Structure 1
């Protein structure tokens, strides 16, 4: 499948590298608002076509899937351009800046019958399936609690602290702990309690979120950009617990008994970068005539955006363009 990339930034470089290592996909085109930047990217990664506007790339009949790698603040505009030209979309997380944008894009995708999904890579990785198989097999008993955290030293990165670019820890980093908890506990959230610490620019620097589910299970998510964390996702059960080491790209899954003894350590399959899983899931869905991926249906994409909207509302954080 010939893939076009919108926005030649650092995450786009990782995708281009991944595509170049895949036998079933090709990094065919790249688009930037600056033609010279697109050409430099194309030369670096051996990309066939370079475009100086996003719309121009969507008019290329040979582009079969577009990966949107622009800042969150630009996802909506980029996705709309793609859908106007009936181009399937793999859009970086967070899917949009808010739920209103997400609903409009998802509704338009349904209206036009065009595939759209979110590139929240942990949803597509084998680690998600391996973890759920271990839980479903009863290796830790009945699940009652989940914790997950992700933190990096990112306060020096301009887009992370810029409200105009939908900055803050939540949309960029916090979506991973929330996604980890959702993969285990589902979507029936009955109550949410949270708090955050803000940067000088008014976006969240770090946050803590408690989720109470209708069935009595609970989840705690923490994310931040002030410094690194151990990045563990821990699933607690009645017979023991499971630790997914590095929720952003699980290195291994360790299962412990009730007396904290290591019972089993499950290594993860080899990968190119991990991006290949979301690409292949998109390719499979498109080939089957779907407009969404079973790994993350549109209703779950929208629910996560609504959850993050409600968190920002509680914290008094609104982006200038909203």
Structure 2
């Protein structure tokens, strides 16, 4: 990783936490505000991060948000937030199609960024964002919380212990009824199931199997009248013989399981969007072990702490979700949409 020299000592000399601002005031921004507020009251994090500001294009909405979470500063424009010299890290919480624009705005004003998934709407945008990150030497990382959670390390350790033998196949699914969320069916906002819901099964498979070369990719989807995907199924074949199957939907609720098949058994990870338990089965489908997941504040604290520590260490990316990881996943999303023949209006 490349780094910004001297950041650690500067923060330590001043004895201050990493000052965070939230760009956007929607549902995920509310979840992040609750998280950082909880971190400020937790002895593990209270000296690490502090919530400083929020911005919305609607100043009244920003003021209400700031009042709700006792945030010192609010802005009625994103430009004002980006120019605030007291901000160290900006969490980008706008719709997918705006992530690139807003991340670049912040970095060009000297701000590190934590960009909500999906990182961008396509690979072209991702390349532009990471190009600015490289030229500025600032932290730029994708906020897909499952990459940062303790459950990921627990799964890795279990597989390394050969508890189910040699891994052969990974399946993962996630579905929520989300048709009532306007932005989710809007192609101008990069709506559809893939970028919001489907990214979790794809990430689960990628985390278990690691970066591998695909030999073939098949996918099919059904679509809303607006042209965005409602649900889909994707099969990934890898050159080493592994296979992954990812399914997602915004029409109905799924069991949200991630299952790892092995030569001596299989592992079921319950709720891949926020794993709450792992069950290991031996040959004969006998449950041999259950593994609990540590209690969390909200689950988002791990990505915030990782980003803050990366800034303190002068790093430009987080080890849990490197730039290479982000580019691999956003390219996969592009390839899947290419199979469907689906584009967003702003791409035309």
TM-score range, shorter chain: over 0.9
Partners of 1:190 and 1:287 lie apart in 2 by 40
Alignment match, 1:2:
19
Number of residues paired by the alignment? 322
TM-score (norm 1): 0.99
Q: How much does 1:117 deviate?
A: 0.3
Partners of 1:315 and 1:95 lie apart in 2 by 21
Moved more, 226-235 or 255-264: 255-264
Alignment match, 1:18:
35
Partners of 2:322 and 2:31 lie apart in 1 by 25
Alignment match, 2:221:
196
4+ residue runs over 2 A deviation: none
Match of 2:312 among 287, 292, 296: 287
Partners of 2:315 and 2:239 lie apart in 1 by 31
- Answering whether residue 261 of structure 2 is matched by residue 246 of structure 1, we say no
Alignment match, 1:260:
285
Moved more, 182-191 or 14-23: 182-191
Partners of 2:263 and 2:283 lie apart in 1 by 8
CA RMSD of aligned residues (A): 0.7
Moved more, 24-33 or 165-174: 24-33
Partners of 1:290 and 1:114 lie apart in 2 by 8
Superposed CA offset, 1:20-66 (max 9, x none): 01123222100011111100100011001000111111111111110
Which structure 1 segments of 5+ residues have no match? none
Partners of 1:315 and 1:264 lie apart in 2 by 40
- Answering whether residue 211 of structure 2 is matched by residue 187 of structure 1, we say yes
* Pairing 1:204-283 to 2, within 5 Å after superposition: 204-283=229-308
Partners of 2:207 and 2:328 lie apart in 1 by 13
Higher RCO structure, 1 or 2 (CA under 8 Å, sep 6+): 2
* Pairing 1:100-179 to 2, within 5 Å after superposition: 100-179=124-203
TM-score (norm 2): 0.91
Partners of 1:27 and 1:254 lie apart in 2 by 37
Q: How much does 1:187 deviate?
A: 2.2
Alignment match, 1:307:
332
- Answering whether residue 66 of structure 2 is matched by residue 42 of structure 1, we say yes
Partners of 1:107 and 1:264 lie apart in 2 by 46
Partners of 2:313 and 2:159 lie apart in 1 by 29
Look up the SS of the partner of 1:303 in the other structure. helix
Which structure 2 segments of 5+ residues have no match? 1-17, 40-45
Q: How much does 1:279 deviate?
A: 0.3
